[in-house]
Structure 1
Amino acid sequence: MNTPLTPDQLEDALRAIGAERYHNLHPFHKLLHSGQCSRGQVQAWALNRYYYQCGIPRKDCSLMANMEQKSMRIEWRQRYFDHDGLGEDEGGIERWLRLTGALGLDRDYVISTRGILPATRHAVDAYIHFVRDKPLLEGIASSLTELFAPAIHAERISGMLEHYDFVDDSMVGYFRERLSQAPRDVEFALSYVRQQAVTVPQQQAVLNALRFKTDVLWAQLDALYFAYVAPGMIPPGAFIPD
């Protein structure tokens, strides 16, 4: 890239990353959404994904700490409330715990994160550290996987309800909420990146930030597949399905 992209060209490049690298393409998700996972494999996915869910508000706090303008912090803080809850809204983390509980996982065990895969912990922690340590523009750009999230949530809702007799409508509340939350969130983040990434180095940085985030999501599914599908090598201390 020798000359800067226009904002529309930059957005097209960001969307192309999702089309090539978003984790809806991962073999584990294809198994999950098509009903080919066992109940134990679904439990392992929900348990490990909990660590990512509870990492999101930590990430958002780190990002807001890098925002000097009050108006930006006010805009971004709704993301934090969406996950940790506010007032009568229980928040996304609590909705995820309802899912893991309905799958038969002990609440205290899930919250302790004792049974998650080492790769899950390392991937999520790397994302939090990335947002904390990188320039604000790159931290915001890394959130743009939300461009692609509504499609995967819709696919997950229909696929899991259709294929698993142990999943009912009350268990997919988290995904239903994200159908409206993610588009709202991405509107601000995408507008910011389009406006602020104007030089070639800035545009390369935001594209790399989004690639990094897709790697974080993909790595978690790699670990799940390796441990619970093939070759089925569960590391010491990790969750073992019944």
Structure 2
Amino acid sequence: MLNRRQLLQHLGAGFALSCVPYSSIAATHGDGIKYGMVIDVRRCTNCQSCLVSCSIENGVPQGRSRGSLKRMSVQQDSHLTSLTVPVQCAQCDRPACVEACPADATGKLNNGIVYIDYDACIGCQSCVEACPYQARVADPNFEVPPEKCNFCLHRLEAGLLPACVESCIGSARVFGDLNDPDSKINALLKNNKIYTLLKQENTQPNIFFIGLPDTLDEQAIITMNEMEWQR
């Protein structure tokens, strides 16, 4: 397990993130609705209201979660500061989990959301192992399907925002239709330096970030324990 000093070394040694040009995001747009999310890490206070509201809204069993908050110390100019990076299902356009499922129990809807068919799931956990973001949380007893974010699909169908977006006190999360050129999410994507995690995996995620340091070690973020920053 990484101690605090080792974590800082990881951050300092990490390869530079490459920002995602808006032209490449726009190239994936099409007809109909395509949901996505922008997370501004500069606004995240690590209050964990997103995790709590998600678990309550979706009835997530105790001890499991549909997302995580990775908090770390980063060097900015001459001082250290803390940064929190939320990690959840990225609703990828090329989801590795869908390809890995032998039971066709996970798929992608026309609106861009990657879902789990809980009736068809055989509990093999192949999707958990395939996800490069470690965004699917397995049942340790292999009795029920994994947990993952689905943008609170039932809330969207009722005309509501995902629970994490509605509960975020820092307004760090902006959700919307990527296919709508006049949407707030598209304005953010056009006018900010945008990043995605693990771009090299070529999964084409639809969770975008503002405010990430260029030297961030993405893999260290994905694999770190949420409490490691305190060591």
Give the structure-2-normalised TM-score. Answer: 0.28
In our comparison, the structure showing a higher alpha carbon Rg is 1
Report the structure, 1 or 2, having the larger helix content: 1
Report the structure, 1 or 2, having the larger strand content: 2
